[in-house]
Amino acid sequence: MNNIVNFLSQLGASSQSLTQDQIIELAGEHQLSEQEIQAVLERDHQKIAELLNARTNVCGLLLPAEDDEDAEDDSSREEEIAA
Amino acid sequence: MNTIGQNMEQKKTQGRLVCVGLGMTLGAHITPASLKQIESADVVFIGASTGIVEEWVKSINPNTISLQPFYQGRNSRKETYAQMIEAILEQVRLGKNVCGAFYGHPGVFALAPRKAIKQAREEGYDAYMEPGISAEACLYADLGLDPGATGCQQFETNQFMFYNRQVDIASLLILWQVGLAGDKESSNFSTTRESLQQLVDKLVEYYPPTHRAIVYEAKLLAIDTIRQEEIELRNLPKAELNMNSTLVIPAYKRLIDLKL
């Protein structure tokens, strides 16, 4: 596992609220580079993703079920009125 | 081969689908059951909140395919989700043990996992869902709100705006995806001041313009801080909103005791 991914995963699993000094110490234990530590301290998702060569343009969306055929098939429900 | 062995062999070649939740915060929320599904899958399809989470899942199972490329066309999101479902089922039909890993809870405001499971079952495959920690669960923890205290209504913002939904002002109201307000055709990735004003106009039918709401964003990485920004409803059009912003509107009136 990449060092920074491993670091973030372990930090998440530990559920700890760390000070900046503690984060730097933990990052050192995970052998993060200076650039990686800087990106972590700045909470810069874009930079972390770039350093990982990960996707930087990510779309996470919700889609409600108002167009769901389950609802369309359910004749017991009255039709929703569009405003 | 004995019967148990035959059954196992049959299941192995049948193809199956398990959709799991990754939770909201990388490494913090995934359940042991979901982690096991990702580790043991032949192929993992991932719908994550950041590219960093994608890399984390790839580190658990290198045979991971991102669903992000499906968003890149100019299709409506309904078409996009149909294409995602087809890609997932194609692998199930090939007899593979397929895992769909989605941020948050795979069954909450998530069309693709639920429909993929339904279709897989209709085609005779073993398919089910493992729950995850949703944005809603994080919201209650981070903001210290209990939906049991006053009751809770929640809508996807555009469903709230474009359909005739009734608000109970004695309950908590949560509007998801407020950063996409006005996107009736499910084809945009942002909102406008005009659309937010339209939303405010609808809300002030129920609440005073000065009623205080909260713009909330959950932590995606453990290094993040949650966003918990109080705002008067009338100022919503000026707020900086993202795709993952949620509007939380506390109850305006006390519960009325019906002494029958």
Which carries the bigger pLDDT value, residue B172 or residue B74?
Answer: B172
Which carries the bigger pLDDT value, residue B167 or residue B185?
Answer: B167
Q: Please classify residue B254 by burial: count the beta carbons closer than 10 Å to its beta carbon, then call 0-12 exposed, 13-18 middle and 19+ buried.
A: exposed
Q: What percent of chain B is predicted at pLDDT more than 90? A: 74
Minimal C-alpha gap between B18 and chain A (Å) = 20
List chain A domain ranges.
19-56
Average pLDDT over residues B162-171: 92
- Does residue A49 register a pLDDT over 70? yes
Q: Is A26 on the interface with B (CB under 8 A)?
A: no
Q: What does each C-alpha distance from B248 to A78, B49, B145, B237 come to in angstroms?
A: 28, 21, 10, 15
pLDDT digit string (tens) for B171-200? 999 999 999 888 766 666 678 899 999 999
B71 catalytic? Reply is no
Asked if B221's CB is within 8 angstroms of A63's CB, the reply is no
User: Does ipTM come in above 0.90?
Assistant: no
User: Quick one: pLDDT at residue A78?
Assistant: 52
Asked if A15's CB is within 8 angstroms of B156's CB, the reply is no
What does the alpha-carbon distance between residue A28 and residue B237 come to, in Å, rounded to a whole number? 43
Q: What does each C-alpha distance from B220 to A45, B12, B28, B92, B251 come to in angstroms?
A: 9, 35, 10, 30, 28
Asked if B225's CB is within 8 angstroms of A43's CB, the reply is yes
Q: How confident is the model at residue B204 (pLDDT cuts 50, 70, 90)?
A: very high
> B156 by DSSP, 3-state: which?
strand
| Domains located in chain B, CATH noted | 3-133 (3.40.1010.10), 136-249 (3.30.950.10)
Minimal C-alpha gap between A62 and chain B (Å) = 5
Sheet bearing B97-102, strands edge to edge: B64-66, B43-47, B97-102, B16-21, B126-130
Average pLDDT over residues B199-210: 96
Set B16, B71, B74, B77: catalytic member: B77
B103 catalytic? Reply is yes
Prediction pTM value: 0.86
Asked if B109's CB is within 8 angstroms of A63's CB, the reply is yes
